[in-house]
Amino acid sequence: MSNALVIVEGEVTEIKILENFFKKMGLEVIKEEKYQKFSKLTFSNEKNTVYLIPGPNPQVASVIKEFKSSEDELYKYFGISETIALNFIVYDVDTTKIEDIDELYETYNTPDVGLIVLSNPCFEVIADKELKKIEGFPKKYKKDIYKQCGGISEKGFVNFVNENIIDLLIFHINLNRYRYNSNNVLDHTKKAYKSLSDNTCINESYEYKELFSVLYVLFAYMRGLVSKSIDNVDNIIKELKKLG
């Protein structure tokens, strides 16, 4: 496993879920600190360190401006002194304009520089096994997902995902394997991004046609399971099951 930086959109939901998942991976929180306006959780084991940080702004367009205004690499931007091999930006599509996502993806499409890991329309899709086309604002969709999880609150959603994270990640890997006709998760991130062109917004009415989560790529890269040339989905599923 390589040292990693994971930048997330939310300060609560994503942090709690990824903190739980990293602990399943054998990492423990060794430090919680403030760096300028950022909160920073540092996880570590005997070999590696992972930094989990809420992004500077919940809007993709604003994140682009923040990062572009700095000439530093991402890990330096967040006050990390050691070189980081894997950098991830975990953000929602939400109501973001596609051209803004395109601009971010132009720069951040590989882990060495930074890989944008999107959820369409939002992070909560990780718990959605129906994945029907939806219309309207993501806020209503989130409430529907809370109900799917057996509750009506964000806390209930977090608890449900933490209890079922392995099964949920495997569900989305298998779904995307057949949806994108590929056993290589490198293809999943690229094809998921391309599918965003099917999202529409007419008179502020949003329509999301292909709902997806590719959150499992964090695990795949951090465990060194990604390859450009060979199938890796089955091996990733095998390693995920070991955490369960």
**Contact in structure between 18 and 131 (CB atoms under 8 Å):** no
Q: How distant, in Å, are the alpha carbons of 17, 97, 127, 197, 210 from that of 102?
A: 27, 9, 26, 10, 17
**Contact in structure between 215 and 122 (CB atoms under 8 Å):** no
Helices of type H across the chain: 13-24, 60-68, 74-77, 98-107, 138-148, 154-179, 185-195, 216-222, 233-243
pLDDT tens for each residue of 62-78: 777 777 777 678 888 88
Segment 73-89 shows an average pLDDT of 88
Percent of the chain, pLDDT > 70?
A: 91
In sequence order, which residues have a C-beta less than 8 Å from that of residue 165 and are 6 or more positions away?
Answer: 17, 20, 21, 24
**Contact in structure between 225 and 169 (CB atoms under 8 Å):** no
The pLDDT confidence band at residue 198, using thresholds 50, 70 and 90, is: confident
The pLDDT confidence band at residue 58, using thresholds 50, 70 and 90, is: low
Collapsed DSSP state (helix, strand, coil) of residue 93: coil
* pLDDT on residue 124: 93
pLDDT tens for each residue of 156-197: 999 999 999 999 999 999 999 999 999 999 999 999 988 887
Instruction: Examine the pLDDT at 199 and tell me if it is beyond 70.
Output: no
Question: Tokens 């919940």 label which residue?
Answer: 58
